[in-house]
A and B are shown apart, each in its own frame.
Chain A
Amino acid sequence: MLQVRDGAGEMLGVLFERYHAPLYNFYAKLTGDRALSEDLVQEVFLRILRHRQTFRDGTPFRAWIYQIARNARIDHFRKSRPQVPFEPEMAPAVAPGDPAQQQQESELLHRAMMELPEEKRELLVLCRFQELPYEDVARLVGCGVATVKVRIHRAMQELRQIFHQLQAAPASSAQRAAAQNFPPRRMT
């Protein structure tokens, strides 16, 4: 990371290799919008390029990059409020060869994720999909580790409830998520 700060463009290329897919997934799982996710990933690398001088040794690099990623997304939604009700465009990706039932459950779970309030969804994406340790997530969202664990627990409880509702009425709309989710708030 030192090299990035000291201004080597190639190093940014290495970072791109390492982080662009995880960052893309962070955004994709959070927003359900592929084009927007691509845009935001570009924005993150532009910000890294621009603000590499602000990186301080001793800070976990991953936390720094996700901090930038969160802020880029928050700034995006602050600038352009979505006018249409939120509907995840993304068909849940499912690994090939899944038995039909498992595929169906995976799809339901994906939809349940998208119906979670933004803050809870973000927490699950960071902890479960990005596999950040609770300590890093705590620093990222600016609270204690114990609080993160409590929030994870609540998020999982709510996910379970939504999942059950969807199982009972699979046709129910995802639009309910819209009202709760936007715009996301900047957590300090």
Chain B
Amino acid sequence: MKCEEIAELLPDYLQQGLQGERKNIVERHLESCVECREVAGLWKQLALIPDEQPSPAGRARFDAMLQAYQAGQGSGVVTRRTTDKGTSIWSVFQWLRSPVGAVAWSIALVALGTYLGLQLGGAKSNSQDLAAMHTELTSMRQMVALSMLQQQSASQRLEGVTWTRREEHLDPQVLSALMHTLRYDQSVDVRLAALDALSRHAGQPQVKKTVLDALQEQQSPLMQVALIDQLVEWRDAEAAPGLEKLRKLPNLNPTVRQRADWAISKLN
């Protein structure tokens, strides 16, 4: 029998899906054909590439995500920050829980169900449904991020900052939570991560000003240097007076003062 004919049987043979005469046909061919024998051999060898073990951090992240999600559902933590006007994620969520919202919600779910059904059925996807799903997931992630930024443990807040880094556009609430974190979080690691996350949103109102304010407030030299570097990276000319003010502080760490001088020379 020729290779082409075997080609129809070989994949089933590899998955051990052949019996009786058909199996014998393949095995006889394998005895005489080097190429097909090699394929069968490689298939077996593939199993020798062992599985990778996911890191324990994955489980911790999952637990934190679930916890944050449930906290968000329970509306406890997140509602603290509803000062912003306009359509925040949270007000959308609240609306979805109202009777009118519930109807709209179920319509949306039917649409999503249809979308997924189409996907599974192999039909072409509807780009509108797809866009809706993306939007929904984005706000979902941001809600989780927002909730995580307000958790007790520093590692969870750090995780919250990480979640925000995935988004190109941040909801105003998330942005303001990040700015709050930058200024007031107890952990310097979390503050540094928040600065890093904010660095990508310099165009948003308040972000540069918050970094400038933080420069006057932060006591940790690590933080001060990071803030200075950020201002230089932004080439923020308005930063110069703030830097002058900082370098005149009597108890300033010498390294920080040096850095501030360097920054001033860069910005002028």
Question: Which residues of A line the B interface, CB within 8 A?
Answer: 9, 12-13, 16, 20-21, 24-25, 28-29, 34, 37-38, 41-42, 45-47, 49-51, 53-56, 59, 63-64, 67, 71, 75, 79, 90, 92-95, 98, 102, 105-106, 109-110, 113, 124, 127-129, 133-134, 139, 142-143, 148-150, 152-153, 156-157, 159-160, 163, 186, 188
Contacts and interface: CB of A to CB of B under 8 A. Distances in A.
Nearest to A95: B50
Nearest to A90: B52
B51 A21 contact: yes
A156 B43 contact: yes
Most buried by A among B49, B57, B117, B125: B49
Contacts of B116: 51, 54-56, 64, 67
B112 A51 contact: yes
B46 A13 contact: no
A148 B17 CA distance: 15
A160 B120 contact: no
B54 A188 contact: no
B61 interface: yes
A66 to B, nearest CB: 10
Interface residues on B, range: 35 or more
B120 A67 contact: yes
Nearest 8 A/B pairs, CB to CB: A142-B122, A24-B54, A149-B11, A28-B52, A54-B116, A54-B113, A152-B11, A156-B39
A12 B66 contact: yes
Nearest to B133: A51
Interface stretch (B136-144, B178-186, B212-220, B228-236): B136-144
A157 B35 CA distance: 9
Given A63-B120, A110-B49, A9 B66 contact: yes
Nearest to B108: A53
Contact of A54 (B112, B137, B140): B112
B39 A157 contact: yes
Contacts of A159: 42
A172 B144 CA distance: 44
Contacts of B48: 95, 98, 102, 106, 109
Given A13-B66, A20-B62, A50-B140, A59 B120 contact: yes
B265 interface: no
Contacts of A51: 112, 116, 133
B11 A21 contact: no
A92 B49 CA distance: 7
Contacts of A98: 48
Contacts of A75: 134
A49 B69 contact: yes
Contacts of B65: 42, 45-46
A49 B69 CA distance: 9
B122 A139 contact: yes
B114 to A, nearest CB: 9
A148 B140 CA distance: 35
Contact of A160 (B12, B39, B70): B39
B218 to A, nearest CB: 29
B7 interface: yes
Contacts of A152: 11, 14
Contact of B52 (A16, A25, A45, A59): A25
29 contacts: A20-B59, A24-B58, A25-B51, A29-B49, A29-B52, A37-B52, A38-B54, A41-B54, A45-B62, A46-B65, A46-B144, A49-B69, A53-B112, A54-B109, A59-B120, A67-B116, A67-B119, A93-B52, A94-B50, A95-B50, A128-B43, A128-B47, A133-B15, A143-B122, A148-B11, A149-B12, A153-B7, A153-B10, A156-B10
